[in-house]
Structures are given as structure tokens and as C-alpha cells.
Amino acid sequence: MSLSDKHQCREIITKAICGKGRKFSTVTHTVTPPHNPTSILGAWIINHQYEAVAAGDGIEVIGTYDINIWYSYDRNSQTDVAKETVSYVELVPLSYLDPKHRASTVEVSAEATQEPSCVEASVSSGGGNVIIRVEREFSAELIAETKVRVLVCGRGHGDYEDKEFDFIDEGDYEDLDPDSLDDVL
């Protein structure tokens, strides 16, 4: 009896993570308050919103956040808060990408592993602007239908009869249409 008589290779079409990436970045924004600032008393970033879309070999994170700067002016005799909404597009490159995924089934997701935060705020050399340095970090995943191969024992395997297996019912695979994949993969 040869090895191929005992074991067979089967192909399973399933939804899987076919690409992953992570990106940390530091960006600089210039905010122009209504009064020439004397000193910066505080800077915050709030109301961060974003979404992810597939973009070639990466995932684009498209988002906005509000910058609030509390500053003094008129030689530190008055204070005010300058607010500005910033839009951005961050390309997160994928560290690996399964080339055999079904492109028409791609779903992407991104998570802010570090919410945008102000790490430095200073008055510009000309005195009319505030320079804000912001750090942010995203991890992203590309999920798609793909084909995986598994080795199957042709005969029953007695070693597993006394074992208990706990399978988690994910319910995410109800949308799969394996008949439509035969020609694509």
C-alpha cells in the first residue's frame, strides 16, 4: 500500500485573511489661529473617524480628525481655542498578499492601533501659525475567498476516537458560493 492510498489531498474554498499590513507614521500639520499665538497651552486631537478601502497591493485608510489648540495671544493676556478639521489618506502596505485570492470577494478592515495624538505643538518661526506633529498607527487586513489544500486520511483514525474537539461556529461562511469559484481559482 502506497502513501497515496492512505492520504488524499482535498481543496477547500474558504474566506481567509489573505493579506496583512501595519504602518506607523508621523505627520505635521499647520494650523492658523485667528490671533497670532504667543504660547501654546495645550493641543488635542478628537473626533477621529476613518474607513478602509483596497488600493492595489495595499489598503488605504481615509479619515478625518479635529485639532484643538488652546493658546495665548496679546503677550499672554488673552486665550482662545483654535479648531481645525484635518483630512488624510494613509496607504498601509501589505507585508504579505496571497496572490490566489478571489479579487471580487475582497473585504478590507483597518484598526487604529494608536489613535492620532499630538506629540509636539509649537509656534512657527513667523509667529502666525502653530505647527502640530501627530503620530498615528494602523493595522490592516485583506479578507477574501481563497482555496486551501488539506491532507485527508482515507481511513478512520482510531487515535482520535477518545478525543473531544471544540469547533467554533463562526457563521461567516454562509455567504460563500463554492460553485462560482471553480472557474476563478
Give the pLDDT confidence of 87-134 residue by residue, as tens digits.
Answer: 999 999 999 888 888 989 999 999 999 999 999 999 999 989 999 999
Set of cell numbers at residue 22: 501595519
pTM, two decimal places: 0.74
Per-residue pLDDT of 3-35, as tens digits, reads 555 668 889 999 999 999 999 999 999 999 999
Q: Torsion angle, CA of 28/32/33/38, rounded to 10 degrees?
A: 70
The confidence score (pLDDT) of residue 107 equals 95
Element (H, E) at 3: helix 3-6
Task: For residue 166, give the 3-state DSSP assignment.
Answer: coil
Select from 146, 155, 121 the least CA-distant residue to 135: 121
Distance CA 115, CA 66 (A): 12
